């Protein structure tokens, strides 16, 4: 039962990580310059890396390993947001917080604590969409 809950949280969080874009859009040239473009590309790369690792909670390390990946991704995304500043920083900070909350939930589940609640995936999706808009992604989608 515990692993099923962890699988569910991991799968939902990975769905929340996917940005369906390949580059920062034209908004960047108007509102953020090179720092924003670089930060957005680095955020996108980080999200794709976490998503491509599958966010699997069943492989080696299980939920603890996935929680660690989410925490590390949150730190990188938060840092890149600070590099960009403005709307990107605000959105990146909010999305990173969602990743941290998901990581905390996975850690609780892996220790057998089933009363830790679940992350707010609707909020995570909204923050992901806000991040996409701040970066000027075209054809943005999440999950």
Average confidence (pLDDT) over 52-78: 78
Domain range annotation of the chain: 34-135
Chain segment 90-113, per-residue pLDDT in tens: 999 999 999 999 999 988 888 887
DSSP lists the bridge partners of residue 19 as 142
115 is written with which tokens? 């009363």
The pTM (predicted TM-score) of the whole model is: 0.74
- Give pLDDT, residue 54: 57
Average confidence (pLDDT) over 50-66: 68
Least confident range from 24-28, 88-92, 123-127: namely 24-28
- Give pLDDT, residue 127: 93
Residue 125 backbone zone (phi > 0: left; psi -120 to 50: alpha; other: beta): alpha
């Amino acid at each position: 039962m515990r692993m099923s809950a962890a699988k569910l949280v991991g799968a939902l969080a990975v769905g929340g990580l996917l940005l369906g874009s390949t580059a920062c859009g034209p908004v960047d040239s108007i509102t953020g310059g090179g720092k924003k473009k670089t930060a957005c590309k680095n955020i996108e790369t980080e999200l794709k890396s976490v998503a491509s690792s599958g966010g699997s909670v069943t492989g080696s390390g299980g939920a603890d390993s996935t929680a660690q990946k989410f925490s590390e991704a949150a730190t990188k995304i938060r840092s890149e947001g600070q590099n960009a500043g403005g709307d990107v920083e605000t959105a990146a900070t909010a999305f990173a917080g969602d990743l941290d909350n998901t990581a905390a939930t996975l850690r609780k589940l892996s220790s057998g604590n089933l009363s830790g609640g679940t992350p707010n995936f609707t909020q995570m999706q909204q923050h992901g969409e806000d991040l996409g808009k701040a970066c000027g992604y075209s054809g943005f989608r999440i999950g």
